Structure formats: C-alpha cells, structure tokens
Structure 1
Amino acid sequence: MELSQRVQKLTPSSTLAITAKANELKAAGQNVIGLAAGEPDFNTPENIIQAAFKAVEAGKTKYTPAGGLPKLKEAIQEKLERDEGLRYELNEIMVASGAKHALYNLFQSILDEGDEVIIPIPFWVSYPEQVKLAGGEPVYVTTDESTAFKVTTDKLDGVLSEKTKAIILNTPSNPTGAIYSKEELQAVADWAVKNQIIVVSDEIYETLVYDGEHISIAALGEDIKKLTVIINGVSKSHSMTGWRIGYAAGDRQLIKAMTDLASHSTSNPTTPSQWAAIEAYDGDQTFLREMNKTFKSRLDTIYPQLMEIPGIECIKPKGAFYLYPNVKETVRLCGLDSADEFVEQLLETSLVAVVPGSSFGSPDNIRLSYATDLDSMTEAIRRIKQFVEERMEK
C-alpha cells in the first residue's frame, strides 16, 4: 500500500526507539534504569481521580461540545486570570485532547503550504513534525549554552521572511529546562508585534519552576496578547499525562476554527477526563507545591553528581524536569564518534536509557529526566560515570 507523502516525510522518534530498546532489555530481565520519561512519576491526585469516578457514576459519559465543557472553560478562564493575570472570554478558549492536540489543531488552522514557523533549537520533537503535517516549513534558530538556550531577536531577524507566520516559544523548556525572564520575553514580544508574527506560547511546564518565575508572554500587553496563542494543560502540572486534557487560549476567530476542526476529527475531549480537569483547576492545589518541592530536591541532589562525570558541561535548569548536558567532550574522552553512539552503548552496556540530543536538534547533548525516584537517579549517574571512566582507561 502506498502511503501519503505527508506521513512519509515524518521523522521517526528516536525517543520511542530508545524506549522500545529499554523495554526489550527489561523484558529480558535486565535492570534497566530509564531516564527518558517525559511525564511525572507521581500518580494523579486522589481528589481528581474521585472527581472522574463521580462523573462516571452520575452518567456524565456522553458527548460534550467539541471545544470542551463550558464549566471546564470557566475553570481555565479563572486559572489564567489567577495565575497569569490574563482575562479570556469563553469563546477564546478551546479544550483539546491534550496540549499536543491543541498544537496540532493550531498549526492546521493557521498554516498554508509554504508558510514558515520559526522553531528555536533545541525543540520538543513534535513541533517540526506538526508544522510539516500542516504544509508548513520549519525554520530553525540555533541556541546553545552561550545564550542559556534562549533565542535572541538578532537571531530571529536573521531568519525572518515574508513567509514567516509564527514562532514557537516554550518556557519552561523541554528539553533544556530554560526559563525566559520578563526582559527576554519583552524583547521577543516587541519583535513579534513589530513584524506581526503569531507567538505559539507552550506553557505546559509552567508550574515546574525552581529558580525565577514563570511569566506568560501574553501578559506583557494587549498588542502581544492579540498575537499569542497559549498552549497548556493538566498533563505535567497535575500528573495527568494519560487523561489527555489540554487547552488553547487566544484570538476568538482562531479558537473557533480550531474547534470546528476538532468537531470533524476527534469531536469532544474525553468527558470524564474533562470533569477530572475541572477538579484539577478548581480543587486543592497543594499537590503542585509538593511535586515542585520534590523535583527541586532531586535536581539539587543530582546536578552536582552529574557534574562529576568527566567532560560533562551542563547549565543547571530552572524549570521542567530535565537535565540537558553537553557531552561532546565526554564522547571524545570515550573514543566514540557521536552522542548518539554514546547513548546506544550506554544502554547496551550500562543499562541506562537517556535520549540523544539529536532528537531535539542539538546532536552534542543528551536529555536525562529526573522524573524518577532519587535512588534510581543516583544509581544511573553512578553507572554513567563508571561507563565513561572505564572507556577513558582503555
């Protein structure tokens, strides 16, 4: 069967490949430590689980509007005003089957063939693929340790063209954990307003900040708010990755288009999950503080251990739950040719699964998730260090 050109152009996920290999080794009885996870290792809070149970028992299992329950939109509306100081009307909010679905509908709604979307490197793996699926062209802007993985307006000017439609901004960042300051956001906002470029503001990690504060670029003034589409959801903040509830907030005409698109594809997000998300936003928020505290404690413990590995360079992240070390020198010390080879051999010989930076556009880095228990993390770092030192001795 001949497949469409659009799916043939997709880049396979090396994250999934690493995960599949790790699972294969685990199934064979190997003690693999996985640091590739992109989800919190906490269960969903009990009050949220109970809200879903009660909804099902009450018969709340039928269709809802394609753009989400009005009551959930109200909860999101209140959350945005409470946390970001932003006011959106209900027709400026769309609930989706996860933040990824919201992003997909967004790109399908704003892009025509050949439209360009600026994507800073490193990037979350699905950004360029979703742009390509919508007929758009990803245009990459390189960032590195010298700019703390944050894009500058000089770099943006260098890739701006008549075809530029949007820029993606992810803060806190996956995979780097970088957070844009208010001043840095203001510079990007001024640039976007000047050039009338849509800002796709992915804020899915907003509650996981350990140094500094999260600021939504949309909160920097009415002009930039009009150009910004906020993408967020409950997956990371409330450890609800499998519940598949995300949202978009922005221009009402765009939100209507995204909702109309959903009505012909997924219909509504899962109904019990929407009721659970209402409790997530309206209920007790103690869990957010507790999870944040745990992740910060892990980071403060693991980061110094990581820095003891020969050749490692790593900016201490300020948010999310990833470490993103540069291993170029480490790879050289090990006598290997690339970080991809480093990752492959690390899994095969030391049974530690990490993600190669090539997945995110920066081939000299690797990504380690600390969304796992501290004992496992400590053992994983010990194995990585031993792996490097043994190869240095050869």
Structure 2
Amino acid sequence: MIQLPLSKLSNVGTTIFSLMTQLANENEAINLSQGFPDFPADPELLSLADHYIKNGFNQYAPLGGMLPLKEQIAQKIENSHGTVYHPDTEITITAGGTQAIFTAIATIIKDGDEAIIFEPAYDCYEPTVELFGGIVKRFRMMAPDYTINWNEVKNLISDKTKLIIINNPNNPSGKILKENDIQELIKIVKDTNILILSDEVYENIVFDGNQHLSICQYHELKERSFLIASFGKLFHVTGWKIGYCAAPKSLTDEFRKVHQFNVFCVNTPLQLALADYMKNENNYLQLSQFFEEKRDFLREGLKNTSFKLLECEGTYFQAVKYDKISDKTDFDFAHELTINHKVATVPFSSFYKDKLNENVIRLCFAKKNETLEKAIENLQKL
C-alpha cells in the first residue's frame, strides 16, 4: 500500500457548512445553516449572462479580469468610499471571495510568519495561513457583544507579525467595526510593515442606518491592505463564485503572481454580465434595506420565544443564544434542531479554534419569507 505523506492540514475536515447542509438534506429540514439565498437572482442579470454566452464571449479572460467589470468596481468603490483604485493595475477579479483570501494569504505568509485573526472567524483564514507555514494568533471576541479590546490585540504583535485579517461586517457575529476600531487599528500598524487583509464581502448589507467603514477609506490602511469583496453576496449568485481583490499596485503585482498559478482567470461571460448590471447602482444600493426587512421578519417571529436575539448590525446572519432552552453544547443542539425540529443552523463553536461553546447558533435569513415563516413556526414550538 502506498504510504501517503503527512497531511498539511491534519486537523481540518469537512466544513461545518457542508456538514449541516448535508444533515438538513438527509432530514428534509429547512436550511438556515449555509449562507446562500433560496430565491432567484434578478432576471435582468441572468438575461445579460445569457446574452454574453450566446454571443461568443466564452474564452479565457485576461489574468486580472475583464476591464469593463474592473472599471465598474473602481467606480463603485469611489462612489461608496471616496477612494480611487486604478481598474487595470489595482483590481483583480477572482473565483469568489474565498479564492481572493487564499491568494492574498499565499502572497504574504512564509514559514514562521504570524497572522492575527479575530474569533469567531470565518473558517478559511486559519487553515490557509497554516498551509503556507504561518502561525495564527487569535483574539477572541465573545458573546453577547463581540467587541475588540485593542490593547489585547496590541499584545499579540511581534516582530514576526506579517498580517492582520479582519472581517467587516463579521461572519458569524453580524457586528461591524466602528470608527474607534479603525483608529485603534491604525495606531497598531503605524510605523510597521504589517499588512491587512480586509474581508468585506458583506459591505453592502449593513443595518439600522449604520455606515460600512471600508479599510480603503483610510490612507494609512489602504496602502497596506488587500480589500476582498464578493458578487455572490452582492447579487444573490453565490454559485457564480466571482469576487475581487482591490489593492495598491505593489501588492496587486505580487497577488497576481500567485493568482495566475491558482485559477489564472475567471468566467468571461459572467464578468461582462456583472459589468453591465452594475451600471445601475440601485441594483446594489438597496441591498441593506432588502435584508434588513428579512432580519426584522425573523427577529419579530422569534421575539416571544426563549431564544435570546443577539445584536445584528450587518451580514445576513442572526446569532441567537439558546441557554434557556437547552444545556446541550451548540454542536449537539444544532444537530437536535435539524433532526427533531427540521431547522438547520450552524453552531458558533465551529468558528473558534478551541470549539468554545457559548450556547449560540447562527441562522441565515437570506431566504424567501415562506422559508423563514416555516422555520419560525418550528422554532416557536421549542
């Protein structure tokens, strides 16, 4: 028998999102676990994709992406955040946000380099750092407010720190960074060579009149940052797997060295469809209101239950605490919900390295109202 080499990711298995979706399918449960909409994308966008496919735009795109789409992205960033990226040299189209994150980490991290992440953390950050020989240092945000003590973050900095990874708005907590957070981050990286990876895939899903504070709005941070975003979240087409990375030319040049040997380029006709669709700003400027209504619909349905609704400032995820319902771990409780009550969720412990159990689960409300109604009806019975 062939002796396989030691696994580079020996502690990594199938993601919790895939596991819970599989469990939902096996038990015919309502799937509020994995973060994807169950409603269709805009027919106009689908018609544009059809147009470009049928008219022969089906060959390789340039390495950095189709220029019309990059120009629209640059315009969106300038309109939203008042900052300029050169479309051709500072924006790269990627095969989704996760590929952009992977490539940015691969660009920076070498053996022994340290990267700081904030838990609860999206599950691709740590394995990718470790894949390239890096060491992860974690700051733990905790229920119910998931705030950051920047003095403690400062203590994590060493001469080996090469990267700080932030996720704003945060998945899974639904919290957003405030001006004070940004200013504290600026103080920490000032006079250092530390780079920043800013995962902002939910930037257009922010609630209650709050403003999304992008890393690119701050010169001190923009010059050292990879800004990551996703069209899957923006236009309800997660299966298209198209995102982008915006970064200064010096960083983009290095990013593309890795990108070209990872995926090289991204789906040509869909890029052109997105470029045309983005010309109408209303196709994304109304997204916050759209999802705020869904958030409120879910919260209203659960307010008289024994679930404690945690604050949700952005993303399309609602965190709830269930300690008045069950003393089971969040993993066991999520399984019980799926099997016995036909609602699939995600346990928060999956977003912590040490599987911290806070009796909190995550519900996705990027669903049709009929789907949410059925889930609420089941959850109200607990």
How high is the TM-score relative to the length of structure 2? 0.92
CA displacement at 1:5 relative to structure 2: 2.1
Q: Distance in 2 between matches of 1:379 and 1:45?
A: 24
Residue 302 of structure 1: how far off its partner (Å)? 2.0
The equivalent residue for 1:367 is 362
Residue 230 of structure 2 aligns to which amino acid in structure 1? G
Matched ranges for 1:1-394 at <5 A: 1=2, 2-26=4-28, 32-89=29-86, 90-145=88-143, 148-211=145-208, 212-220=210-218, 222-282=219-279, 284-310=280-306, 312-332=307-327, 336=328, 338-361=329-352, 362-364=356-358, 365-387=360-382
CA RMSD of aligned residues (A): 1.9
Residue 227 of structure 1 and its aligned partner are, at CA, apart by: 1.2
Work out whether residues 15 and 359 of structure 1, in 8 Å CA contact, stay in contact via their aligned partners in 2: no
Contact 2:85 2:248 in 1 (8 A): no
CA gap 1:78/1:4 in 2 versus in 1, 3 angstroms: farther
Aligned-partner Cα distance in 1 for 2:140–2:111:
24
1:319 deviates by 1.0
Give the percent of matched residue pairs that are identical in Structure 1 and Structure 2.
Answer: 26
How far apart, in 1, do the equivalents of 2:42 and 2:294 lie?
20
Kindly provide the CA deviation profile for residues 72-103 of structure 1, in whole angstroms up to 9, marking residues without a partner as x: 22221111111111111231111111111111
Aligned pairs, number = 374
SS state of the match for residue 99, structure 2? helix
The unaligned stretches of length 5 or more in structure 1 are: 27-31, 388-394
What amino acid sits opposite 2:39 in the alignment? F
Distance in 2 separating the partners of 1:150 and 1:197: 22
Q: Secondary structure at the match of 1:5?
A: coil
| Distance (whole Å) between structure 2 residues aligned to residue 280 and residue 58 of structure 1 | 17
* 1:174-194 alpha-carbon deviations (Å, 9 max, x no partner): 111111122322221222224
Q: How far apart in 2 are the matches of 1:41 and 1:166?
A: 35
Q: Deviating runs (4+, > 4 A) in structure 1?
A: none
Deviations 1:172-215 (A, max 9, x none): 11111111122322221222224432121111111111120111
The CA deviation at 1:289 is 4.6
CA deviation string 1:245-295 (max 9, x = no partner): 11111132221222122222312111112112212322x233335543332
In structure 2, how many angstroms separate the alpha carbons of the residues matched to 1:172 and 1:188? 16
Distance 2:40 2:16 in 1: 26
| Structure 2: 5+ residue stretches without partners | none
- Structure 1 position 342, deviation (Å): 0.8
> 2 CA distance for matches of 1:3 and 1:280?
47
Q: Tell me the amino acid that sits aligned with residue 91 of structure 2.
A: I
Q: Which has the higher helix share?
A: 1
Read off the aligned partner of 1:115 and give its amino acid letter.
D
Give the aligned residue type for 1:19: T
Structure 2: which amino acid aligns with 1:350? H
One-letter amino acid matched to 2:345: V
What is the deviation of 1:10?
A: 2.3
| TM-score normalised by length of structure 1 | 0.89
Work out whether residues 244 and 273 of structure 1, in 8 Å CA contact, stay in contact via their aligned partners in 2: no
Q: 1:97 to 1:177 in 2, by over 3 A?
A: same
**Residue-by-residue CA offset, 1:300-357 (whole Å, 9 max, x unaligned):** 23214334332x333220111101123344332xxx3x11111111111111111111
Matched-pair contact (CA < 8 Å) for 1:173–1:319: yes
Aligned residue in 2 for 1:29: none
